[in-house]
Amino acid sequence: MMESSEGLPQRWRAPRFAVSFIMFTLWILWAGLALADEKSVAEKIIEILRANGQISEEQYKELVKEAGKEESKPNDFRVYWKEGIRFESEDRKTEIKAGGVIQTDWAAFDPDEEVDAAFSDDDIDGHGVEFRRARLFVEGTIYENYEFKSEFEFAEGDVDFTDVWLGMKNIPYVGRIRVGHQKEPFSLEELTSSKFITFMERGLPNAFSPGRNTGLTLSNQELNGLMTWAMGAFYETDDFGDSFADFSDYQATARITGLPWYCEDGRELVHLGLSYSHKFRDSDETTVRFSARPEAHLTDARLADTGSIATDGVDLFNPEFAMVYGPFSLQGEYFQALVDSEADDYTDFYGFYVFASYFLTGEHRPYKTSSGAFDRVKPRQNFNPVKGGWGAWELGVRYSRLDLNDAGITGGREQNYTFGLNWYPNPNMRVMFNYVLAQIEDREDLGIDDADVNIFESRFQVDF
């Protein structure tokens, strides 16, 4: 177990750090609001001085005039709600948002005998509930050009970092720089927040996505927001953003996106993207592993799993496509991993998914041009039966495939069919129902030739 310099185990240090940070941030916000009220207190003092005859009427008018000038200066904070709690200075150069997300999941698994026997210790047969995510965050912009975010995950019974970074923006030619624990710029579905993805879990080939690591990212928009690019260098770390090893597990990642068609404020669009990542490794020191749950988090079973592979490096390729045409949308991605392994020159794994979705109530999937990813769904009418509002209703269907068999490695070939129904009572709440048919074949190390699992799952989500 890793010990801190104070002798506390990391599992104790993490929650103490998170709580301390959140309390400190709330104290700063309270202090700012208190300062915003300071002028009204000064005016009350002026009133008392006049009432007690300690200042003349002429002096009173002059002081009130000066107080009015001070009040007009852009120092006040206003507090308002915009899909979350926000604090904003009058000059809009400082804005802070505090919020969180809670996702509660239920799932039931019905495997065939072959899968049940192979994964008897991995909770693949039965049903259960869990808090999939329970996060708190504070993010904002200060002095117009500096930004930060600190988000912590509490769902696993411990405290982990999700996004913990600081940065600068509006830099000529460069755009934005961020340093810290953050997502690497790779994959449309990965970079779309888990709060806004169409299905409860990302598709099978998300197994190739680097996810979050500690590093530095440069990014910018071009062509009036119709194109984005991002690149970064990262160190592969644990969930607390830490790592220390004899050989450094560095990786370089880049992504570019474009909108060849974009109209009606994103109600109609075509998105194209391409991501690339290289993992620098030393086969004498490090390994890589690719595996995936069957698009359900409540089981620990990885139906497809390469196990550990000694490697001198990995190249990841990822073309993206998405289309929105009013309430209808299509999205798909292809993933390829070339592993420079000891057993063979290159071991080739791949995966892809494609899905379609349709809003029965006429909404569309909002797109965020600054990040080249999808954003929060906003119902035309919030759920309010008295006024005839029923929220937004969305149907989705997805096919995904993951092939982890090559060059003597038999991680299996899996394909999943997923059907989803989403209900959005308002922009901050969502209820999801998914059915997944997961089929695994050619998993020779477990003796699986052709088997399947039926999965029924639901999620109740609120974020702010």
Q: Is residue 164 part of a domain?
A: yes
pLDDT at 20 over 60: no
CB 114 within 8 A of CB 126: no
Between CA 351 and CA 403 the distance in angstroms is 6
pLDDT attached to residue 120: 77
| Among candidate residues 330, 394, 326, 383, the one with its CA nearest the CA of residue 359 | 394
- The whole-number pLDDT of residue 5 equals 40
How far is CA 303 from its chain centroid?
24
Tokens 């045409």 -> residue = 325
Instruction: Give how far Cα 400 sits from Cα of 231, 351, 458, Å.
Output: 27, 8, 19
**Residue 20 included in any domain:** no
In this structure, what token pair is assigned to residue 213? 């690591």
The pLDDT value recorded for residue 51 is 77
Unique residue bearing structure tokens 């088997």: 451
Tell me what pLDDT residue 88 has: 87
Residue type, 27: W
Residue 386 phi/psi, 5° resolution? -60, -40
Taking residues 443-456, report their average pLDDT: 93
Position 343: which residue type? A
Show the beta-strand stretches assigned E in 184-249.
212-222, 227-235
Total residue count of the chain as it appears in this document: 464
Return the minimum-mean-pLDDT range out of 53-62, 248-257, 310-319, 404-413.
53-62
Looking at the 3D structure of the chain, how many domains does it have? Answer: 1
* Closest to 288 measured CA to CA, from 309, 314, 274: 309
Q: For the segment 117-152, what is each residue's pLDDT rounded down to a tens digit?
A: 898 777 788 999 999 999 999 999 999 999 999 999
Cβ contact 253:274 at 8 Å: no
Query: 350 is written with which tokens?
Result: 């791949």
φ/ψ (deg, to 5) at 240: -110, 10
Crossing angle of the two packed helices 38-51 and 57-72, in degrees rounded to 10: 180
Per-residue buried b or exposed e for 5-20, using 16+ beta carbons within 10 Å of the residue's own CB: eeeeeeeebbeebbee
CATH of the domain at 213: 2.40.160.10
Q: Which of 397, 453, 463 is nearest to 109 (CA)?
A: 453
16 found inside a domain:
no
d(CA 33, CA 44): 18
Q: 167-194: per-residue pLDDT in tens?
A: 999 999 899 999 999 999 999 999 999 9
Share of the chain above pLDDT 90, in %: 67
Boundaries of domain holding 305: 79-463
d(CA 353, CA 169): 34
Please give the model's pTM, rounded to 2 decimal places. Answer: 0.84
Residue 248 lies in a domain: yes
Q: Kind of pairing, strands 448-463 and 95-111?
A: antiparallel
**Domain-located, residue 144:** yes
Find the mean pLDDT for residues 320-336. 99
Is residue 73 included in any domain, yes or no?
no
| pLDDT at position 33 | 52
Mean pLDDT across the chain = 88
Assess contact for 389 and 398: CB atoms under 8 A. Answer: no
Q: Is residue 456 part of a domain?
A: yes
Nearest to 152 by CA among 32, 17, 283: 17
Q: List pLDDT tens digits, range 353-366.
A: 999 999 999 999 99
* Residue 7 confidence class, pLDDT cut points 50, 70, 90: very low
Number of alpha helices (DSSP H) and beta strands (DSSP E) in the chain: 5, 23
Residue 3: pLDDT band with limits 50, 70, 90: very low
Report which of 205, 232, 198 is spatially closest to residue 217, judged by C-alpha positions. 232
In a domain, 69, yes or no: no
Do 299 and 123 form a contact (C-beta atoms < 8 A)? yes
